[in-house]
Amino acid sequence: MGGKVTCTLGEVKNRADLVIYWGGNPAECHPRHFTKYALMPKGKFVPNGRKDRTMILVDIRETPSAKAADIFLQIKPTKDFEMITVLRAIIKEQPVDPAIVAEIGLSLEQLRDLADRMKKAKFGVMFFGMGLSMTRGKHMNSAALLTLAAELNAFTKFVAMPMRGHGNVTGGDVIMRWMTGYPFGVNLARGYPRFNPGEFSTIDMLIRGDCDAALILGADPGATMPQPAIDHLARVPTITLDPKVTHTSRISRVHITTAVTGISAPGTAYRMDEIPLPLRPALKSPYPTDEEVLRRIRQKIACKPLQLPPTVPMMTDAE
Amino acid sequence: MQLTATTAKTVLTLKQRPHIPLEAEVLTPDRLAFKTRDEIAALPLVLGKRQVRVDDYFDVEGDGSHELEIHGDVGRVKWIGRGMTRGRIVIRGNAGMHLGAFMSGGAIEVDGNASDWVGGEMRGGLIRVTGNAGGQIGAAYRGSMSGMRDGTILIGGTAGLEVGMRMKRGIIAIRGKVKDFAGLQMKGGTIVLMSGAEIRTGAWMVRGTIISLAPLRLLPTFAFTSAYDPTFLNLYSKCLAPYGFALPRAGKEGIYRRYMGDSAVPGKGELLVWQPNSP
Amino acid sequence: MRGNSILRIVGGRVYDPANGVDGVVRDLCICDGKIVADVEAGRTIDATGMVVFPGGVDVHTHVAGAALNFARAMIPEDHRRNLAFVRDRIRHGGIGGSTPTTYITGYLYAGQGYTTVNEAAVPILTARHTHEELRDTPIIDKSTCVLMANNEIVLDLLEAGEYERAKEVVGWSIWAAKAYGVKAVNPGGVTAWKWGKDVKGFREPVPGYSKVTPADIVSSLAKIVDELRLPHAVHLHCNNLGAPGNVATTLETMKALEGSRAHLAHLQYHAYGGDDWTNFRSESVRIAEEFNRNPNLTTDAGAVLFGNTVTITADGPWQHLLHKLTGRKWGNIDVENETGCGVVPYVYKEKNLVNAVQWAVGLELLLLIDDPWRIYLTTDHPNGAAFWRYPEIIRLLMDLDFRREQIRKLAPAALNRIFLPELNRCYTLYEIAIITSAGPARALGLANKGNLGVGADADVAVFNNDKDAAKMFSYPRYVIKGGEIVIEEGEIRNTVEGKGLLVRPHYDPSVEDFIRPLFEKHYTMSFDNYPVELERVEHAEVRPCN
């Protein structure tokens, strides 16, 4: 239960002989993923590159990525969790019900073949996208895939990794962890970090109207979030830091134009496998960096009377 | 001066609905019982990042007692009854998140709807909600090894996702329909679904029993074992009947089909699905 | 960071083993961040009746970087179980528990009188991340050890018999990672784990290689570190950690290290007898006897305390086994060409025979190794217990009655598997000052730390003289870091920033021409982004190699 078995992308490049993409379309969304890391490169232990690897794509529709696959497994929508759960049973030689398996859109033979390839791989990897993690079942779909990967280590080497989105999402996650102990969905209102996705995650808070102000940094929720969440952003004072005019900046009370990180602002970005990469600015920008703006806001707040957190006793889980 | 808890009730009436969630873990009979009305009025609540007083949001009547009655829509008030060990809370209106989380005794009654995490990781006692409830009822908080360890949760209406996630003991009974992942990773205890559930019921369960009076869409990792008359249901019937949850006995009207799973774990949980005889 | 306060601490009983001072009442003067002979003005702290120690030095801990940060996300239940830290006028808020957040790590170490720590496991590839976390870890000075014993470039060179070039690569890597020392974890075993295997024998080739053995890696790295004149010896996590009967491997390792300096990390985990978990027992006596005979070696206890924690190590294969044994959740990250890391939450239980043996072995080694200058207090944080529980171990070492009371709580079946009940030695305050400060400072080659002599860094801890050593060392009255008072009356008063300690060993810069093409072939980022720039290390202090 729980946990995560993963690696850096160089491990995939050098070793992976079975590459599975699940619920994602890297050919269009992560165009360099095939060529730089996972499929084409010649690696230390896969000297012939693409020829030494088998690529399997699992998705509900045939995307351009299917052309790159040796095997394309098209499944019925919202059957990912069922399929992964069946695979977990098959690798342990436990019984499954063939009639219900058929609802996944694949035959039991296809699933057995897949399980067999997984076990026989020398080094297997599963990359999963939002087609898995953002469809019905959400975090449990991701948990299912991570658990399957962990369990496959009883037979061979197997890892799993999410295909993170644009920008420095991973960096935000990494820094939240060292500052608060939690990756996201953190509430600091009581002066110490508390974590509960669903309760404190952004979309849920906005939809319920649980916040009375918003600061948006490095994101465009106005373009991606559900309408009730966007409506709340428009309702409360929203401040957006962004180099460009965005859907979010249009509904914000305040939009501060900032320098483009990576082009005009230095720093560190974390790749999807959490490898830190230095950003070296190539151009000068007339605009301040995000960091500078936040620092100045913080200085202004520091001039106000200090507001200490509530003094009520901390909530800890009793043993 | 040692005060004794009076037999009278403590009544809180919501004056204004908070515009953001209000955290009120102090509202338990344990914390209020030996306090005067004024002391209760001055107890701290947390509104966002600010500390407020009970009487900023509630009219307080009566000194502290083992019985707390709350009037008004407290659907935005979180953590009522957190960790309570005794006494009774009656809420006339909706209740907010984490109602009765970690409670080990006493009773909470809600005449209205409740939100997510009703009875999260509770150890004992009774929570009864007449209306609908949210998700993660009696569940483990994120990362914890187990959800509720004992006690009873009764929901009159529908419920959300992950009901009874990782529960170890105790009973959850829900009259209305339940969303996905009821009994997720369940380790023991009983969930009664009077109107069934959507999908993935009993996913990854290790042990424990889920009884459904409506047909379920099963995961492929559950196997039919037998159709029978589980005599232990008598016990549950007796316990649940006073609250209007009647479990039919196998016989003329139908029979229970028993499935075992989840073989992905592999687990030995059981699903008992009522199958009425065709007329 | 060097403070500019002027201080005089008067009337305290001073324990300064680096200068042979054993509980002498004398004044201590501080100016410009250093201990000085005398001061004229400045503040006076009355330490009458109190005990004055050099600031603590932790030779082996895991407080920052990709592996620890991975663990943080895995154990929200642990964060909730422990008291968190509420933001106030001076402090940031954060999480305590098994994997404290960065700011809290600084507060907690300083809060028990520690002023220098050595983060013991840093891959080159993610060193930038480690240094970013250490920037956010206040008060304490920090050094790091870079992981080398499963680095495939190094292993390939050793396989090809190219020792000299391997040495250049190690030298280059230390500077690239802005590290202070060299760490070797389960030499060869983590590489094997990348195929789901572990190394078999200490003198058998590593899977995937035809010649190079763990023994070769160990002895070569020890020699390389000596020849590079690093201030700290090779920092070695031996093969077969945690396994029943691993005493044999540990003894063989000591033999392979003859003629070189070496620091054996968390020796407790490497001193077990028996063939399997059913007859698992302590072999601390054999280990301590052999260790006592080898003055080239230092070690740290890696002691275990009962309770919840999380285990984090670059030893991937061991973590997979632990996950299978306990059924607890398991995290693993393999880092390309360099190392790996595994994470498994764990509870040490008094009534569990294996855990009882582990608890005893840590204390036995501390009591049986006769030279306190060669064994240091650690728990391999967070593996054996969180570092903020060190005072509990100090009490077990100093207080025989308390120790006996704790032994009585073990399952009776554990008693004939351990030696602890027969050991009557008790540590003195002078010896505690050695194993928590002067000794580890010397092992790290930090002459200005763990030292209250004139010219040393003014890192000082002042404790109440309490009969209960656990209480005494949990709540220092004053802690002074670099001459600034950071703790006063048990409260944090000032959160200064600590230094980043590193070395620049001598190596031939042309080795880069050898590494670059290999890197471009086997790694996945631009070579120019690989080394960490010196300015990324906050308050960097480059220490000499001589």
As a whole-number percent, the residues of chain C with pLDDT over 90 amount to 88
DSSP B6: B
Interatomic CA distance for residues C334 and C189, integer angstroms = 12
As a whole-number percent, the residues of chain C with pLDDT over 70 amount to 99
Residue C273: inside a domain: yes
Residue B229: inside a domain: yes
Q: What is the mean pLDDT of residues C261-269?
A: 98
Residue-wise pLDDT tens digits, A189-236: 999 999 999 999 999 999 999 999 999 998 999 999 999 999 999 999
What H or E segment, with its residue span, contains residue C175?
helix C163-176
User: In terms of domains, do A158 and A256 share one?
Assistant: no
User: In terms of domains, do A28 and A90 share one?
Assistant: yes
Task: Specify the number of domains making up chain B.
Answer: 1
In angstroms, the separation between the Cα of residue A185 and the nearest Cα of chain B is 12
Nearest CA in chain A to B218: A100
Residue B134: inside a domain: yes
CATH number at residue A22: 3.40.228.10
Residue-wise pLDDT tens digits, C35-51: 999 998 889 999 999 99
Q: What angle is formed at CA A252 by the lines to CA A250 and CA A258, rounded to 5 degrees?
A: 85
Which has the higher per-residue pLDDT, C151 or A31? C151
CB of C7 within 8 A of CB of C30? yes
CB-CB under 8 Å, B204 with A311: no
CB of C120 within 8 A of CB of C67? no
| Gap between the terminal Cα atoms of chain C | 24
pLDDT at C65: 96
Residue C208: inside a domain: yes
> Of B97, B98, B117, B99, which is closest to residue B108 (Cα–Cα)?
B99
Residue B197: inside a domain: yes
Residue C46: inside a domain: no
Q: How far is CA A4 from the centre of its chain?
A: 13
User: In terms of domains, do A24 and A157 share one?
Assistant: yes
Across-strand partners of B47? B22, B50
Residue C461: give the domain boundaries: 53-446+454-492
**Which two tokens mark C323?**
């996950």
User: In terms of domains, do A217 and A247 share one?
Assistant: yes
pLDDT at residue C3 greater than cutoff 80:
no
User: In terms of domains, do A40 and A146 share one?
Assistant: yes
Residue B146: give the domain boundaries: 116-276
Helix (H) and strand (E) counts for chain A? 14, 13
Q: Could you list the beta-strand ranges (E) of A180-223.
A: 186-187, 194-195, 214-217
Interatomic CA distance for residues A74 and A90, integer angstroms = 19
Query: pLDDT-based confidence at A261, cuts 50/70/90?
Result: confident
Residue C505: inside a domain: no
pLDDT at residue B5 greater than cutoff 70:
no
pLDDT at B1: 43
Residue B249: inside a domain: yes
Q: What is the mean pLDDT of residues C243-262?
A: 96
Q: What is the mean pLDDT of chain C?
A: 95
Residue A71: inside a domain: yes
Residues of A in contact with C73 (CB under 8 A): 173, 177, 182-183
CATH number at residue C177: 3.20.20
Residue A174: inside a domain: yes
Q: Which long-range contacts (CB under 8 A, 24 or more apart) does B18-21 make?
A: B18/B47, B18/B57, B18/B76, B18/B77, B19/A212, B20/A209, B20/A210, B20/A211, B20/A212, B20/B47, B20/B48, B20/B76, B21/A210, B21/B47, B21/B48, B21/B76, B21/B77, B21/B78, B21/B96, B21/B97
Task: Specify the number of domains making up chain C.
Answer: 1
Residue C25: inside a domain: no
Residue ending a domain, among A134, A162, A190, is A162
Interatomic CA distance for residues B221 and B247, integer angstroms = 26
User: In terms of domains, do A173 and A292 share one?
Assistant: yes
Residue A133: give the domain boundaries: 9-162
Q: What is the mean pLDDT of residues B70-78?
A: 98
Residues of B in contact with A201 (CB under 8 A): none
**What's this model's pTM, rounded to 2 decimal places?**
0.95
Residue A205: inside a domain: yes
Task: Specify the number of domains making up chain A.
Answer: 2
Nearest CA in chain C to A197: C76
In angstroms, the separation between the Cα of residue C522 and the nearest Cα of chain B is 36
Q: Which long-range contacts (CB under 8 A, 24 or more apart) does C23-30 make?
A: C23/C51, C23/C429, C23/C430, C28/C52, C28/C452, C28/C460, C30/C5, C30/C6, C30/C458, C30/C460, C30/C480, C30/C483
**With a CB-CB cutoff of 8 Å, which residues 17-46 of chain A face chain C?**
36-37, 43-44
pLDDT at residue C254 greater than cutoff 60:
yes
Nearest CA in chain B to C75: B143
Residue ending a domain, among A142, A162, A182, is A162
**With a CB-CB cutoff of 8 Å, which residues 87-146 of chain A face chain B?**
88-89, 92, 94-98, 100-101, 103-104, 136-137, 140
Residues of C in contact with B145 (CB under 8 A): 77
Residue C180: inside a domain: yes
Interatomic CA distance for residues C34 and C160, integer angstroms = 49
Query: pLDDT-based confidence at A17, cuts 50/70/90?
Result: very high
pLDDT at residue B66 greater than cutoff 60:
yes
Residue-wise pLDDT tens digits, A295-311: 999 999 989 888 888 88
**Which two tokens mark C99?**
């994997």
Residue A15: inside a domain: yes
Q: What is the mean pLDDT of residues C266-293?
A: 97
User: Alpha-carbon Rg of chain A, whole angstroms?
Assistant: 22
User: In terms of domains, do A16 and A158 share one?
Assistant: yes
As a whole-number percent, the residues of chain A with pLDDT over 70 amount to 98
pLDDT at residue B223 greater than cutoff 90:
yes
Residue-wise pLDDT tens digits, B20-56: 999 999 999 999 999 999 999 999 999 999 999 999 9
Residue B28: inside a domain: no
User: In terms of domains, do A75 and A202 share one?
Assistant: no
Q: Which long-range contacts (CB under 8 A, 24 or more apart) does C161-170 make?
A: C163/C220, C163/C223, C163/C224, C165/C511, C165/C514, C166/C220, C166/C224, C167/C224, C167/C227, C167/C228, C167/C507, C168/C507, C168/C508, C168/C511, C168/C514, C169/C511, C169/C514, C169/C515, C170/C221, C170/C224, C170/C225, C170/C228, C170/C507
Q: How far is CA C320 from the centre of its chain?
A: 23
Nearest CA in chain A to B20: A210
DSSP B271: E
**Which two tokens mark A115?**
């399980």
Interatomic CA distance for residues A245 and A304, integer angstroms = 31
> Of B211, B203, B274, B275, which is closest to residue B239 (Cα–Cα)?
B211
Q: C75, C79, C80: which to substitute to probe chain B, counting the most B Cβ within 10 Å?
A: C80
User: In terms of domains, do A122 and A174 share one?
Assistant: no
Interatomic CA distance for residues B247 and B211, integer angstroms = 9
Q: What is the mean pLDDT of residues C446-471?
A: 97
Query: pLDDT-based confidence at A262, cuts 50/70/90?
Result: confident
| Gap between the terminal Cα atoms of chain B | 70
Across-strand partners of B46? B23, B51
CB of A130 within 8 A of CB of A24? yes
Residue B67: inside a domain: no
CATH number at residue A295: 3.40.50.740
- Say which of B50, B97, B264 has its CB closest to residue A199: B97
Residue-wise pLDDT tens digits, C202-212: 999 999 999 99
Nearest CA in chain B to A312: B44
Q: What is the mean pLDDT of residues C268-285?
A: 96
CB-CB under 8 Å, A197 with B142: yes
Residue-wise pLDDT tens digits, C121-141: 999 999 999 999 999 999 999
* Residue C66 CB neighbour total at 10 angstroms: 27
**Which two tokens mark C460?**
């000082």
Interatomic CA distance for residues A298 and C497, integer angstroms = 20
User: In terms of domains, do A177 and A134 share one?
Assistant: no
pLDDT at A319: 44
Residues of A in contact with C323 (CB under 8 A): 3, 150
CB-CB under 8 Å, B142 with C76: yes
User: In terms of domains, do A27 and A147 share one?
Assistant: yes
SS3 state at B253: coil
Q: Which residues of chain B approach chain A closer than 8 Å at the C-beta?
A: 19-21, 23, 25-26, 44-46, 48-51, 79, 82-83, 97, 102, 116-117, 121, 135-136, 141-144, 180-181, 184-185, 200, 203-204, 218-223, 262-266
ipTM over 0.85: yes
Residue C3: inside a domain: no
Interatomic CA distance for residues C83 and C86, integer angstroms = 9
Query: pLDDT-based confidence at C393, cuts 50/70/90?
Result: very high
φ, ψ for residue A98, nearest 5 deg: -60, -35
- Say which of B136, B180, B221 has its CB closest to residue A137: B180
**With a CB-CB cutoff of 8 Å, which residues 269-298 of chain A face chain C?**
270-271, 274-278
Residue A317: inside a domain: no
Cβ partners under 8 Å of residue A47, min gap 6 = none
pLDDT at A1: 44
| Size of chain A, expressed as the number of residues it contains | 319
Residue-wise pLDDT tens digits, B242-270: 998 989 988 888 999 999 999 999 999 99
Residue B201: inside a domain: yes
pLDDT at C284: 98
pLDDT at B7: 60
Residue C257: inside a domain: yes
pLDDT at A116: 98
Cβ partners under 8 Å of residue A32, min gap 6 = none
Tell how strand B190-193 and strand B209-212 pair up: parallel
